[in-house]
Amino acid sequence: MSYGLLKGKKGIISGALDENSIAWKVALKAKEEGATFTLTNAPIAMRMGAINQLAEQCDAKVIAADATSVEDLEKLYTESMDVLGGKVDFVLHSIGMSPNVRKGKQYGDLNYEWYMKSLDVSALSFHKFMQVAEKVDAINEWGSFVALSYIAAQRAFPFYNDMADAKATLESIARSYGYRYAKAKKVRVNTISQSPTPTTAGTGIGGFDSFFEFADKMSPLGNASADDCANYVITLFSDLTRMVTMQNLFHDGGYSTTGISEDLMAMIQKNA
């Protein structure tokens, strides 16, 4: 069911790899709610994924851009404004990658060059998205930036490795740039801390299946799906949330504020 929440709005959605991606779901929902937008991803991710299929469904142009490259981001904004016929109203940052996680390096044995890559791709790219947008004046007043985060930014999850540090940095950038952009252009900046979600990236983390089940039993509402997350992102793009900024918003079925659940206690007692 469409509510027309984004009617007339323009945007940029990054990070859609395949139909399991949260960004993919956001694009479909944004189209349904009346938005026009461009899609972007790194060239290598575009070769691995199915973004052109999504572009056809959404009648959207795909613009390749390395999110760590200021030059590529300048091109992304310039081309997007040309294609869309003006400044944009929303940007989704759905980008994260850790070479250390991919290659099985433990937190006490990190490759520091890879660690810096994790930070650059997963966190500093969000700052670059906003700094470039501000400099080229690409965002309308009351625009909205949203990035996807995870609770490992606040709590220790050993399997999440250096991505936890990257997410903590991401959330800090959202607060600092959120203040700056609100004062300058009334643009709001938020992160969403999502439940464990079986995306292509998420399932690549060791022990994902076990933790997915654990989180589902801990959360009184269960894990939030990618579709649920897309709905939440749309509200943050819409005018309904004009006064929400600099926040990390937990979208996790209540996991983040539950000490222990009855389901988990029953499971422990059964196995005792």
The rounded average pLDDT for each run of 10 residues, N- to C-terminus, in the chain (272 residues) is 94 94 97 98 78 95 97 98 98 96 95 98 98 98 98 92 97 98 98 89 67 90 97 98 98 95 84 72
pTM, rounded to two decimals:
0.94
Q: Distance between CA 96 and CA 202 in Å, rounded? A: 10
In angstroms, the Cα distances linking 141 to 23, 88, 89, 93 are 23, 9, 8, 19
Active-site pick, 160, 177, 181, 255: 160
Q: Distance between CA 31 and CA 34 in Å, rounded? A: 5
Does the annotation place 22 within a ligand binding site? Answer: yes
Run of H or E residues at 217: helix 208-218
In our burial notation (b when 16+ CB lie closer than 10 A, e otherwise), range 47-81 reads eebebeebbeebebbbbbbbbbeeebbbbbbebbb
Active-site pick, 77, 107, 115, 150: 150
Does the annotation place 15 within a ligand binding site? Answer: yes
| Residue 87 near residue 138, CB atoms below 8 Å | yes
Does the annotation place 21 within a ligand binding site? Answer: yes
Q: Is 150 a catalytic residue?
A: yes
In angstroms, the Cα distances linking 57 to 34, 44, 118, 155, 184 are 13, 21, 31, 38, 35
Q: Distance between CA 83 and CA 58 in Å, rounded? A: 14
Query: Which residues, including other chains, have CB under 8 Å from residue 172's CB and lie 6 or more apart?
Result: none
Instruction: Please give the backbone phi and psi of residue 35, each rounded to the nearest 5 degrees, phi first.
Output: -85, 155
Beta-carbon count within 10 A of 128 CB: 20
> What CATH number was assigned to the domain covering residues 10-271?
3.40.50.720
pLDDT at 204: 60
pLDDT at 187: 98
Q: Is 3 a catalytic residue?
A: no
